[in-house]
Amino acid sequence: MFHIEDIKKWNKEVILKIIENLKENVDEVRYEISKQTNNVMSTVYNICVKFKNKTKDQSEGFSIILKKPTQLEFLRQIIRSDVQFHNEILFYRTYAQPNENFPKCFYINERPPDLMIALENVNEQGYYSCACPCKYNIPLEYTLAAMREIGRFHGKGYVMKELQREKFFAIVEQVQEFKYDRMLDENRIIFLNLTATRAVEYLRNQGYDTAFCDKTEALLSNAFDEVMIKTVEPREPLSTLCHGDFVLDNILFKTENDGQYRAILIDFACLKYTTPVVDLSTYLCLCCSNEVKKDKFFEIIRAYHDALKEYLIEANIWDSEKYSYDALLDDYKRGGLFGFVIASFYLPVFMGYLKKGNFTCINEFENEETAKQNKQLGGDKISKILADMLLYLRDLGCLE
């Protein structure tokens, strides 16, 4: 564990280096920590920096988010936080460009165990978390804004893949996997396979078609291999650099002057070279109600595809065959169960059924016992949501 003196030392060193990078003639530098947040993966400091610009003879300031991996060594190893920081540092160091819609990166320390990244606090630009109290059923305008932004994000990968192929794949090769690799953690495999069958068990108890339940349970009881691993495997030509954790916690929104919502993505620890369904199915299964998916699915996917197409046309690499709307729909049908498997264990957490102090699920102590606990969270309410979601995905063609 680290003491307050260590924290003050880190912050002072980082602030001085950030000021140096600004290349301004400054004096009277001071800062204050407005907020400190601890989560499973990291410690986050909100820091307000103020200084005097001697060239302009005026006071200036900016706000940063300073992130460090958790200092709890046992958690650091379980969740592989150093790998997650590696991926995010890689993203800002090699992939994101200053003129793009990402938080500005002020400072990076790539040397373990002192990994650290300092980013612009985009609240200053008017970006904030979705104001909707229910993360599972947010207003459609937020979803459409998120889809437009992830469309542009995927488009950036396609453009770099086409125009800077060697550089693009050099980045891809440096991305480290920490979730979907059979060699990493047997407990995680057990956990996913057990929680994935929750909806089928509910349907069986409700007297639903036995043949369907038997077939689907056989598939989902091996969800790690048959769904997750198969879905994340790169498939050309649609594979691009995906966010990998495209949920509301990693999307901020602001309202433009015309009333339209605009989104910005944050937290790139789960970067992955795979097809868009990994991001799209994760969002749709976790953030959109079954009713919205049934009524608005094609409108949502169309908004995504329109933004992608516009981005690729502007870059002069649009290919109507490679990136067609139908090709993306086929990709979704092939891998739509990916988001469902995540929802099977994470939806009750997302909806607030995880009690404080209970470490069930979300990358922590994933094993058979916590899987059994997780399958009880939210009771029949959650089980029915998941069952209806599964039947909708079947009707969409995702189980074929």
Structural domains in the chain (count)? 2
Q: Which helix or strand (DSSP H or E) is residue 282 part of? A: helix 277-287
How many angstroms separate the CA atoms of 223 and 217, rounded? 9
Distances (CA, A) of 319 to 144, 159, 171: 23, 11, 23
Angstrom CA distances, 352 to 94, 122, 296, 398, stand at 36, 26, 25, 28
Do 397 and 333 meet the contact criterion of CB atoms below 8 Å apart?
A: yes
CA distance 123 to 279: 24
Which pTM was predicted? 0.93
**Under 8 Å between Cβ of 4 and 12:** no
Distances (CA, A) of 73 to 36, 69, 163, 268, 301: 19, 10, 42, 22, 41
What's the pLDDT at 370? 87
- Residues 255, 335 within the same domain: yes
Q: Is the separation of the CB atoms in 200 and 219 below 8 Å?
A: no
CA atoms within 13 A on the CB side of 81: 23
Calculate ∠ Cα 15-17-22, nearest 5°.
95
Given 66, 96, 125, which residue is the final one in a domain?
125
Residues 121 and 233 in one domain: no
268, two tokens: 């790139």
Does one domain contain both 86 and 223?
A: no
Please check whether residues 343 and 212 belong to one and the same domain. Answer: yes
173 plus 115 within the same structural domain: no
Number of C-alpha atoms within 13 angstroms, CB side, residue 30? 4
Same domain, residue pair 230 and 370: yes
Distance of alpha carbon 39 from alpha carbon 362, whole angstroms: 12
Amino acid at 376: Q
**Angstrom distance (rounded) from CA 4 to CA 116:** 17
Instruction: Burial-class residue 356 by CB neighbours within 10 Å (0-12, 13-18, 19+).
Output: exposed
pLDDT truncated to tens, each residue of the chain (400 aa)? Answer: 445 555 666 677 788 888 777 766 777 788 888 788 877 778 898 988 888 888 888 888 889 999 988 777 767 777 788 999 999 999 999 999 988 999 999 999 888 777 899 999 999 999 999 877 667 788 999 999 999 999 999 999 999 999 999 999 999 999 999 888 877 778 889 999 999 999 999 999 999 999 999 999 999 999 999 999 999 999 999 999 999 999 999 999 999 888 889 999 999 999 999 999 999 999 999 999 999 999 999 999 999 999 999 999 999 999 999 999 999 999 999 999 999 999 999 999 888 887 644 444 444 456 788 888 999 999 999 999 999 999 999 999 999 8
Q: Please say which residue of 106, 125, 144 terminates a domain.
A: 125
CA distance 135 to 128: 14
Are 76 and 363 spatial neighbours (Cβ–Cβ below 8 Å)?
Answer: no
- Do 150 and 95 lie in one domain? The reply is no
Alpha-carbon dihedral 362, 92, 96, 337, rounded to 10 degrees: -20
Q: Please enumerate in sequence order all residues whose Cβ is within 8 A of that of 122, keeping only pairs 6 or more positions apart, or say none.
A: 103, 252, 264, 266
How far, in Å, are 151, 179, 184 from residue 242 at the CA level? 10, 14, 21
337-350 helix and 198-205 helix, angle to the nearest 10 degrees: 90
Considering 101, 125, 149, which residue would you say is the last residue of a domain? 125
- Domain hosting residue 100, numbered range: 4-125
DSSP 63-85: EEEEEEE-S-HHHHHHTTHHHHH
Give yes or no for a contact between 366 and 187, defined as CB atoms under 8 angstroms apart: yes
Domain shared by 194 and 320, yes or no: yes
Whether the Cβ atoms of residue 318 and residue 261 lie closer than 8 Å to each other: no
State whether 115 and 172 are in the same domain: no
CA distance 326 to 301: 10
What CATH number does residue 155 fall under? 3.90.1200
- List the one residue out of 89, 87, 2 whose CA is nearest residue 38: 2
250 and 220, same structural domain? yes
Asked if 101 contacts 149 with a C-beta cutoff of 8 angstroms, the reply is yes
Instruction: Say if residue 56 is in the same domain as residue 177.
Output: no
Say which CATH number the domain at 47 has.
3.30.200.20
Same domain? For 116 and 215 the reply is: no
In this structure, which amino acid lies at residue 67? Answer: K
